[in-house]
Amino acid sequence: MSAHKLMSASFANLLIPVSGLLVSPFLSRELGPEGRGVYAALTLPIVVWGWIGTYGLQDALSYHVRQGRLSSRAAARFSLLAMLPLSVLTVGALATLGFFLFSDTAQYRQFLVLVVFAPLHVLANLLIGALTGNADIRGLNLVKVVPALVRTGVVIFACLAFDLDAYQAGLIFAASVLAGLAFGLVRLWTAADPPTGQAAASDRGTTPVPTGSLLRYSLACLPGVLAAVSSARLAQVIGLPLIGPRELGYYAVAVSVAEIPMVIATAARSVLMGRQGSAAPRAVTQVARLAVLATVIACAVLALSAGYAVPLVFGADFAAAVVPTIILCTATVLYACMIIFTAALLAHDRPIWSSGALVAGSVVGVLALLVLSPLGAVGAAIASLAGYAATTTMAAVGVRRVPALRSVRMLTVPYADDIRLIRERTARIAAVLRRPGVPTAGQREKPETTGTKENAPMPASMTARVVAAGRRLGPGTVGVGALFVLAWLRVVPPQVVQFLTGGRPAFNSREVTGSPVSDLIGDGLTLLFLLLAAGLTGHGLWRRGVTGRRWIAVALAALLAIEVAGLLRGQPPGAVAAALPLAALAIWAQRPPVEVLGVIGALGALTAFGSMVFAAIRPDLALLSGTAAGEKQVLLGGLLAGPYLHSNVLGLALALSLPFACYLRRPAARWACLALILGALVWTGSRTSQLAAGVVLLAYLLMRLLRGRSWPASALVAAGGLLVIAVPLITTDPDSFSKRGQIWSALLDRWSDSPLFGWGPKIFQNSTLAAELGGQFNHGHNIMVHLLVVGGLTAVVPFALLCFVAWRRAVSLATDGEQVALLFLVALVHVSWLEASHLSTTLTGYLAWLPLVTIALARPASSSARSACPPAAATAPAQSMDPVSEPASNGS
C-alpha cells in the first residue's frame, strides 16, 4: 500500500514541475533572460513565505493528526483561525523584505500588490500539513496539482494572446492557489477520522483543540522550516542582488529541471508522516528506500541529457544553464535523503534533531553562496550542493539515534524484498507490453469457447492474419479505415513528390507549381477514394436500409452549404468537392465502431516519423528557417514542416491525430506512436498545436484524477468554443496573435457584406482580399471566421450543430469508459481558435470532418458487452448501431 501511495503522490507531484517545464519555455521566450529573473524575484518570496509563514504549524498539524490528537475538521478550523495573525505577519514581513530586494520603485509597488496573495499560500500549506497527517494522498494531490494546472493553462494562453510582462505573470501565479484551497477545505471537512481517541472528541467539541501542544511542536520545528527554505530556495530569493538577473534566470531554469526528481522524495515524506497501516518499521520505511533509488536513477538520466535538453527546451540563450543543471542533479540526490531523514525524525517525535540538521545545512549553504556568488549560477548550484550535504550528514546522525529505525540503511538502501517487488512490478509491465491487446472499456473479453471462429488459432502467415482480421472486423469497419488511409495518401505522398521535383515553394506565396507526377498520383487517389466511398454507401444501405436521416442531414449540411455558397458566387466545385460528403454518407451507412479512428492515430505517428526522416535526409525541403520560421525558436536547424507547406499545418495534423493513438491495442505501439507524435510536435514549433496537445493531456489527467468523470473535458471543450467565438470578435489590434487580428478584421468586414451565404470556398484567391489580409492566405485562422466568410450563417449553424451532436455522443462514450472521442473534441476546439486550414472542404480537411462525422454517427465496438448483456445479445444490432437513440426501423 505504501508503494501505491508513493506512486500516486509522485505522479501528482510530478505534474507541478512538469507544469513548470511547460510554462518555462513560453515565459522564457516571452520575457527573455532578464524578465525571467525579475519574474523569479517577484514570485519566489511568496512561495518561500508560504513555507516560512506557517511557523512550523504545517508539521505540527501533520504530527497531531497522525497521532489521533486532532481531527481533520478541527485541523481545518484551526488553520482558518490561525490565518488571522499569520496574515498580518506575512504581509508585514514581505513588505519589509521587498524594500531590500527591489531598488526599482515600480517593481517594489508591483511586489506589494502580489504580497496581498501571500496569506493564501500560507493557508494552503497548513491544509497540506493536515491532509498529510490524515494520509489523505488524494486530497493532498488536489491541493497541489489543481493550482499548477490552472496556472499552466492561463499563462500559456496569456503568452500566446498578449504581450505578457513579469508582473502580470506574477499575478497569475499568486492567484492560482485559490483553486487548491477550495479542494483542501472540502476534503478536510468531509474526511472520516478514527471513531475513537482524542481526535474524535475534539471534533465533537467535548475536548479542546491541543493548542499548547501544537504551538510547542511548531516552535521546535520553526528553525528547521527556516533552514529548509534557505537550503531549497534562498539562492533564488537573494540571488537578484548577489548574482544579477541574468545569472538568476539561468539558475531558475536549472532549478526547474533538476527539481523534477524531488517530487519522489516529497511524496515519500507525505507517506512517512501520515497514518500508517502497518507497525513493522521495515515495511513502513520501504517507501523511503524505493524513493531514494528512483531519485538516483532519475537524476542520472537528467544529468546525462542536460547538455542537449536544456537548450532545446528553453532556447539557445539558456545554454549557460547546462552546468548548473548537472550540479543541481547531484544535489537533488542529497536533497532526497535530507527530506526522508528529516521526515522520519519528525514522525518519531524528534523535531529538535530535524531542525538542527536543517539549520546546519542552511548556514553552510548561505556562507557558500556568499563566497561563490562571483561564479554566478554555477556558484549558486555548488552552494546548494554543499548545504544539502551538511543537512544530510547531521540528519543521518539523528536517525541512528531513533530505536525504531535502527540504521540509516533502513531509509536508503533497498533490501532483498524491495528488489523482489521491483522485479515483480517490472515483469508485470513487461507482460502488459508483450500482450497483443488490452481491451478497453468498450472491448470486454468474450468468454472462451471451442470450435468458434472467434477463438480459432490465429493464422501463422501475415496475409492470413490480415484476412482473418478483416473478416473479424467486417467490411464496413475495414472500408472506413481504408477511407482514412486513402485520404492520408492523397494529402501526403503527392506533396512529397512535388517537393522533390519542384522544391519547396516560398512561404505565403501563390507560386506553387504542380508536378505532373504528383497531379497524376493525386487524381488517381481521389478517384479511388470516391469509388470506395460510393461502394461503402451502397453496401451499407443495401444491408441496413435507410435509418437516421436527420443525423446524416446534420453531417452534410455544413459541407453542402459551403459548396452552395460557391455556386452562388460562380465557383463551380470540382470532383474532389464530393469526397467528404460521400465519405460522410459511407460512415452513416456503415456505422463503424469509434475504434476505427485508431487508424488516424497510426497515420499521425507515421506522419511524424516520416517527417523526421525526411528532415534528416532533405533538411532543405522538410525544415523551415529564416523568414519562413518567423519569430519562433528554431530547433535542430529549422522548424519541422515535413510534407506540408508550413510547420503549423504539420502541427495541426499531429495534434488532431494525438488522441486517436490511444485506440491502438498494443501498449507498446500505443506509447511509441504517442512519443513520435509529441516529439515531432515539439519540433514543429507550432504553438497553437502544442497548446492544444497540452490541453488534451490536461483533460486526460483531470479525468484520471476525478475517476473518469467527463465534465473536466467538457469544460475544456466549452472553454475552447468560447475562445473560438470571443477572440476574433474582441481583438482590435491588427498585430495581435501574430497579425491574425488584421486577418480577422478584414474577413469579418467582408462577411458583413454577405452574412447569409458568405463568399464561397475560393474567396481567398481574390487578389484584393489578399492585400487586405496582408498576405496570400487560404483560410481564416479561426474556424468561426473561416466558415462565416466561405459559407455564411448557413454553414456556421449546421457545423455548430454537428459539433454539438458529436460532443453529446462523446460524453456518452466517456461515461462508458471511452474518453478518446471527447479528447479529440478538446484538441479540435483548441487548435481552431487560431487556425482553420484543417477545415478545408477538400480531402486536406479529412482530419476534422471525418472524425466529427464518425463520432456523431458511429456505434461503439461492443455496446452489448458494455451493458453486460449475454454474448447472444451481440447479434441484435438494432439499438447498438444507432448513435443517438434513433428507433431501429425501415428494414434495419
Spatial distance between the Cα atoms of 420 and 375, rounded to a whole number of angstroms: 45
With left for phi above 0 and alpha for psi between -120 and 50, is residue 716 left, alpha or beta? Answer: alpha
Share above pLDDT 90 across residues of the chain, in percent, rounded to a whole number: 22
Spatial distance between the Cα atoms of 339 and 231, rounded to a whole number of angstroms: 11
Instruction: Give the residue from 628, 647, 631, 627 showing the smallest Cα distance to 738.
Output: 631
Q: How many CA atoms lie within 13 A of 126 on its CB side?
A: 28
Contact 383, 365 (CB under 8 A): yes
pLDDT of residue 404: 78
Contacts of 57 (CB under 8 A, 6+ apart): 79, 82, 126, 129, 214, 218
Instruction: Give the residue from 522, 534, 554, 552 showing the smallest Cα distance to 483.
Output: 534
How distant, in Å, are the alpha carbons of 224, 287, 291, 365 from that of 341? 13, 12, 12, 18
Spatial distance between the Cα atoms of 624 and 620, rounded to a whole number of angstroms: 8
Contact 869, 875 (CB under 8 A): no
Instruction: Give the residue from 260, 254, 263, 255 showing the smallest Cα distance to 310.
Output: 254
Contacts of 469 (CB under 8 A, 6+ apart): none
What single string gives the DSSP state of each residue in 522-572?
A: HHHHHHHHHHHHHHHHHHHHHHH-S--HHHHHHHHHHHHHHHHHHHHTT--
Three-class HEC string of 244-265: HHHHHHHHHHHHHHHCCCHHHH
Pull the grid cell for residue 6.
Answer: 508513493
pLDDT of residue 441: 39
pLDDT of residue 238: 66
Taking only the tens place, the pLDDT of each residue in 325-357 is: 999 999 999 988 988 888 888 888 888 888 888
Instruction: Give the residue from 724, 713, 727, 672 showing the smallest Cα distance to 824.
Output: 713
How distant, in Å, are the alpha carbons of 153, 657, 679, 711 from that of 714? 16, 19, 27, 5
How distant, in Å, are the alpha carbons of 29, 306, 346, 682 from that of 634? 12, 18, 49, 11
Contact 41, 32 (CB under 8 A): no
Spatial distance between the Cα atoms of 492 and 510, rounded to a whole number of angstroms: 19
Pull the grid cell for residue 95.
Answer: 513588505
Contact 84, 158 (CB under 8 A): no
Spatial distance between the Cα atoms of 191 and 134, rounded to a whole number of angstroms: 9
pLDDT of residue 580: 92
Spatial distance between the Cα atoms of 594 and 856, rounded to a whole number of angstroms: 10
Number of H helices, E strands in the chain: 37, 2
Task: Name the amino acid, one letter, at 605.
Answer: A
Spatial distance between the Cα atoms of 51 and 227, rounded to a whole number of angstroms: 11
Enumerate residue ranges in the chain where pLDDT < 50.
Answer: 1, 196, 199-200, 202, 206, 436-456, 861-892
pLDDT of residue 883: 40
Instruction: Give the residue from 446, 442, 444 showing the smallest Cα distance to 816.
Output: 442
CA dihedral 55, 57, 63, 66 (to 10 degrees): -150
pLDDT of residue 703: 83
C-beta neighbour count of 360 within 10 angstroms: 18
**Burial degree of 848 (CB within 10 A; 0-12, 13-18, 19+):** buried
pLDDT of residue 276: 63
Task: Give me the phi and psi of 100, to 5 degrees please.
Answer: -90, -30
pLDDT of residue 529: 93
Instruction: Give the residue from 103, 36, 51, 16 showing the smallest Cα distance to 230.
Output: 51
Instruction: Give the residue from 266, 412, 397, 405 showing the smallest Cα distance to 347.
Output: 405
Instruction: Give the residue from 649, 679, 700 showing the smallest Cα distance to 831.
Output: 649
Q: Where are the domains of the chain?
A: 2-425, 475-865
Pull the grid cell for residue 570.
Answer: 460562380
Spatial distance between the Cα atoms of 315 and 164, rounded to a whole number of angstroms: 18
C-beta neighbour count of 247 within 10 angstroms: 24
